[in-house]
Structure 1
Amino acid sequence: MALKGKSSDTDESSNDEDSKMKSYITRQFKKFVKNANAKGFDKDRRQSNSSQSKSQDKGKKDARDGG
């Protein structure tokens, strides 16, 4: 039983195309992760800022009521 081999030209071009596609996908994935992290960080920061301002407002009200 014998297997048919591919020519070396075909292998090189398909490997080159695969390599380019992997590079492209990797770049796109890195951009996606970077953007997702940035959006998540902003969201967390906004939530913590609103929580801090609410607690500060409550402290001011307590000070006014107590004093």
Structure 2
Amino acid sequence: MTQNTYRVSGMVCGHCARFVGEEIERVPGVNAVTVDVDGGTVAVTSDRALDVGEVRAAVEEAGYELVS
């Protein structure tokens, strides 16, 4: 298991967190997603190392931006 934390800009409420979490959960290998709206972060637990491009695409699909 691996865990990574990513910064996401534009999230301001619980609905934002839900959209981002749902999209990231669709990435193959993701087991759990914890979104911290106040901190602007997303913690992702997966059973393999994730390609940041996959996570970025999921965040963008939800309408937000992954911050480098």
Q: TM-score, normalised by structure 1?
A: 0.24
Compare CA radii of gyration and give the structure with the larger one.
1
Larger RCO (CA under 8 A, 6+ residues apart): 2
Hey, which of these two has a bigger chunk of helix by percent? 1
